[in-house]
Amino acid sequence: MSERSDYGYGCILTTYGKIKNRLQAENICISDTTVRPRKDTYLFDFDCVNEGILNALVHNDWTITEPQISMFNNKLDVLSHGGLPNGMTKEQFFDGISKPRNAMLMRIFLNMGLTEHTGHVIPNIVEKYGKDVFEIESNYIRCIIPFQQEVIDQIGNKNVGLNVGLSKTEKKVIELLIEDQSLTSIELSERIVVTNRTIERTFKSLQEKKMLERIGSKRDGNWIVIG
């Protein structure tokens, strides 16, 4: 297991926001700049994972316990409790027929624009990953999203290759950005214990070496380690 964090004991909407931000940070992107247009490959399909987590939150049997989201080095495991709602078959589940276990909770998420009532969630995941990612039992539903092997391999290759032609600070910046591409120059300077100016110079150097690229604005964008 890569990590297991506790986001409980708070507002469910705030908790969902924290989980979403964490998933966006974990969704590493590997870019191939040798082709045009550039090919971006992500660790996992964010929309499918996000929909799966929303589905788990809304349809979980909260009288048992809260859903569990566990990240491993090759997969994401989303577990909700309670199994299928009474009267629902597996065929109806995979067809996307909506039968909310928690009608009030569903209404709140609908009003917030966080989920939909059209039943596209499960079919979207099945289309991308297949039915085998679901494990359905009488007391729980588990959805296991596999990570892209190409991205896992590239991460490993970059970690091995960090000792070639890079300064100590450059190596550390690449290593930290692979783990979390949302890190700012200030956060990086604090972790590496160097000045913010040093980090800015490192960014420029890594861009010149074609190892780093900025996606988005200076305020809202991210640094992406490219291959």
The whole-angstrom separation of Cα 139 and Cα 48 is 23
**How many C-beta atoms lie closer than 10 Å to residue 127's C-beta?**
10
- Per-residue pLDDT of 158-182, as tens digits, reads 544 444 457 889 888 988 887 787 8
Residue from 64, 62, 80, 73 nearest 26 by CA: 73
115 and 103 Cβ atoms separated by less than 8 Å: no
Domains of the chain: residue spans and CATH: 44-146 (3.30.565.60), 149-225 (1.10.10.10)
Q: What is the pLDDT of residue 116?
A: 66
Contact 77, 133 (CB under 8 A): no
Work out the average pLDDT over 53-82: 91
The string of DSSP codes covering 20-89 is HHHHHHH--EEEETTSSSPEEEESS-HHHHHHHHHHHHHHS-TTT---EEEE-SSEEEEEEES-SPTT--
pLDDT digits (tens, 9 = 90+) for 181-216: 788 899 999 999 999 999 999 999 888 877 788 887
Overall pTM surpassing 0.75 (yes/no): no
User: 168-176 — which CB contacts under 8 Å span 24+ positions?
Assistant: 169/194, 169/198, 169/199, 169/202, 170/202, 170/205, 170/206, 170/211, 173/199, 173/202, 173/203, 173/206, 173/212, 174/206, 174/211, 174/212, 174/225
